[in-house]
Amino acid sequence: MTSISVRVFASHPVAAAQYMRLLTAENHFRVVSDEEHFQIGVFDSEPNSAGPVLTLARLKFASMRPVLVSSPCGENECLRWLFRGVWGLVTYDRYEEDLPRAVRQVAEGHLWFPPPVIIRWMKLDDARRASALQLPLTPRERDVMDFLLRRFSNKEIAEILNISERTVKFHVGNILNKLHVSSRYELASHWVSTSA
């Protein structure tokens, strides 16, 4: 098995030390520093910090797969994290046993969420993809819309698709006009309600 590179994003030093201790104890994990490339980002969901830190990290490290360590959350909150690009959620009360398993699963390309959340996500995603094929959008607009529905910013979309932010704004405008909605929020709200 190849080594899985992991970087820990936790502002509290005790949490960071605990996650690093747990991850370095695994044979196939390599915890990396700020300057090294990594596959998995482990984020601590301290109040008001996980969202902005996650957004910045995803912008800077587009290929990273985030795993969030958090308090237990309901299906809707878990779905919001999925739409923001999080691949796994481990609860504080089970992080010692679940974090290494979650990192392995996410590195293999699998989601790590409670089964009801994954089932609901798959239904929403299948419905979204089927509906997207019927929309009057170009292939590039479909790509941009996919990221819009996951709550990516124009800057993040530009970075991931390797296009300018101005081009992303152009596509977003076309999408909103073609779908007769006035904002990203309205697009996401309408899309989720019609797909559920």
Task: Please write the tens of the pLDDT for every residue from 25-83.
Answer: 988 999 998 778 899 999 998 655 677 888 888 778 878 899 999 988 888 888 888 87
Provide the pLDDT confidence category of residue 160 given band limits of 50, 70 and 90. confident
Per-residue confidence (pLDDT) for residue 145, from 0 to 100: 86
Report which of residues 95 and 135 the model is more confident about: 95
Mapped to the 3 state alphabet, what secondary structure does 86-114 carry? Answer: CCEEEEHHHHHHHHHHHHHHHHCCCCECC
∠ Cα 65 56 29 (to 5°):
35
Q: What is the pLDDT of residue 39?
A: 92
Q: Whole-model pTM above 0.75?
A: no
Do 82 and 56 fall within a single domain?
Answer: yes
Instruction: Tell whether the model's pLDDT for residue 91 goes beyond 90.
Output: yes
**Mean pLDDT computed over every residue of the chain:** 84
Residues 178 and 104 in one domain: no
124 and 107 share a domain?
Answer: no
Count of domains forming the chain: 2
- Domain span at residue 90 reads 4-113
pLDDT at 131 > cutoff 80 = no
CATH code of 96's domain: 3.40.50.2300
- 35 shares its domain with 103: yes
